[in-house]
Amino acid sequence: MRIILVGPPGAGKGTQAARLVDSYNIPHISTGDMLRAAVAAKTELGKQADECMSRGDLVPDGLVIAMTVERLGQPDCARGFMLDGFPRTRAQAFALTDALEKAAIVLDAVVLIEVPDDQIVGRIVGRRSDPETGKIYHLSFQPPPPEIVDRLVQRKDDTEDACRARLAKYHAETAPIVDYYAEQGRLKRVDGVGSADEVELRIKAALA
Identify whether 135 is a catalytic site residue. no
- The DSSP code for 133 is T
13 catalytically annotated:
yes
Cα–Cα dist 154/32, whole Å? 24
Greatest distance between any 2 Cα atoms in the chain:
58
Of 88, 123, 188, 202, which is the active-site residue? 88
Catalytic residue among 127, 128, 188, 202: 127
d(CA 6, CA 22): 18
Which residues lie below 8 Å from residue 63, measured CB to CB, with a gap of 6+?
45, 48, 49, 52
Q: Is 47 a catalytic residue?
A: no
Any catalytic annotation for residue 155?
A: yes
Q: Is 151 a catalytic residue?
A: no
d(CA 105, CA 22) in angstroms, rounded, equals 21
Residue of 36, 90, 164, 166 marked catalytic = 166
Q: Which residues are catalytic?
A: 13, 88, 127, 155, 166
